[in-house]
Structure 1
Amino acid sequence: MLSFVNLRGIDMPKAIFGAGCFWKLEEHFRCIFGVVDVSVGYSGGTKDNPTYEEVCTGKTGHAEVANISYDTSKVQYKELLRIFFNFHDPTLINRQGLDVGNQYRSVIFFDNTEQQRSAYAARAALLANGVRVTTEIVKFDIFWRAEEYHQQFLSKHYKNLFRNLSR
């Protein structure tokens, strides 16, 4: 018999990444084994409790980010970094695909010295291989959760699309 443990109430380590539109980033990381929860929001800016509309002006300095809670017995931060760098184009400045603006920049927010070292090492490995990485590595300050309609946006609104693509 299978049993499941709800880990959502437990304080778990977080990985906070920005890489273009947070909807895509959230959906991608939700599929990773060991990821317990993902919420989207804003980090790295100057305005308290910004709205989506304010962030989209580019004037608040916030990046759209995914706040990823994970179980270290199943996935390590270094693996999440590898997935992050493979998910997007870290050579682009303030854009990913058609999403343009500083809110779409490639950024890693680290929460402790271990995450900081791992982030710099991952970026250095890419640079050593000739990849001109522009990803910012920044000390985490605060995560402002985005409006509820942004949470799990793609899975809520495009269920049928994903279902049809998997056939």
Structure 2
Amino acid sequence: MHWRAALVAAALGLAVSACQEPVSAAEKTVAAPAAKRVAEEGEGLKTAVFAGGCFWGVEGVFSHVKGVKSAVSGYHGGTKRQAAYKLVSSGITDHAEAVRVTYDPKVIRYDQLLRIFFSVVADPTQINRQGPDVGAHYRSALVPQSREQAAVAAAYLRQLRAARLWSKPIVTKMERAQTFYPAESYHQDFMLKNPRHGYIVRWDAPKVKALKAMYPGVYSARFQPD
């Protein structure tokens, strides 16, 4: 969907997204290796932020991971004033569609979340797009929330580049943590609320299916709400 149409839909209060642009084929999954640098984050719940294209799918995948307590769709990289879907989807802000994941590191570690991200969530070789969604607001990025996460993420990116699993260079970047702004309510738990939505069926449900097939030990049939 062109951004002008998305703006009109947003103005009318419709839950319509630029994520619904016509597509021709589904994304492929890649079996990313386990991280050599294991995260050591101690006790208590932690948060991580991932940008990987349309946040519906990113949230949907992480919401089915054991140890994840919540996954919230939102915006990262820009200002509070810019944190509105009609602005972000126009491509005129510095925000990326992103998801804030709250997790228990005793159940699922940050390095394991990274493995899931690169295996079934995002294609790290695409610049300023993911699948059918085009624009810098659909960039793939890791946003470490601590020094430990930053060290683990940097090490894993080096490991993946050395592994040469993709035919093209990895362009996923690490971005400095800034304020995360939750998206509008109709974007939250979108996959759970709209399982038959065309975009969900074609692009996001296959990612959850791949998560279950590739990592059955961490897959949870129970959707973790925001």
Asked if these proteins are the same fold (TM beyond 0.5), I'd say yes
Question: Aligned pair 1:113/2:113, yes or no?
Answer: no
Equivalent of 1:86 in 119, 133, 144: 119
Matching residue of 1:135? 172
5 Å-filtered alignment, 1:63-102, equals: 63-87=96-120, 88-102=122-136
Separation in 2, partners of 1:159, 1:33: 24
Pairwise CA distance, 1:127: 0.9
The CA distance in 1 between the partners of 2:147 and 2:104, in whole Å, is 19
User: Aligned residues: percent identity?
Assistant: 40
Residues 43 and 63 in structure 1, CA contact (< 8 A), matched pair in contact too: yes
Counterpart in 2 of 1:5? none
Q: Over residues 22-69 of structure 1, what are the superposed CA-to-partner deviations in whole Å (9 max), with x where a residue is unaligned?
A: 000100111111111000000012453511010011111100001000
Secondary structure of 1:108's counterpart equals: strand
Structure with higher strand content = 1
Residues 110-135 of structure 1, C-alpha deviations (whole Å, 9 max, x = no match): 11110101111111111112241101
Residues 136-160 of structure 1 show CA distances to partners (whole Å, capped at 9, x for unaligned) of 1012111000000000011101169
**Aligned residue type for 1:74:** V
Aligned partners of 2:46 and 2:103 also within 8 Å: yes
Aligned length: 153
The residue type paired with residue 157 of structure 1 is N
Amino acid at match of 1:101: G
Q: Is the 8 A contact 1:49 1:144 kept in 2?
A: no
Q: Distance in 1 between matches of 2:82 and 2:184?
A: 10
How far apart, CA to CA, are the structure 2 residues paired with 1:159 and 1:67? 24
**Paired residue for 2:17?**
none
Matches for 1:7-22 after TM superposition, within 5 Å: 12-22=45-55
After superposition, the CA RMSD in angstroms is 1.8
User: TM-score, normalised on structure 2?
Assistant: 0.64
- Which residue in 1 is equivalent to 2:92? 59
Structure 2 unpaired stretches of 5+? 1-43, 210-226
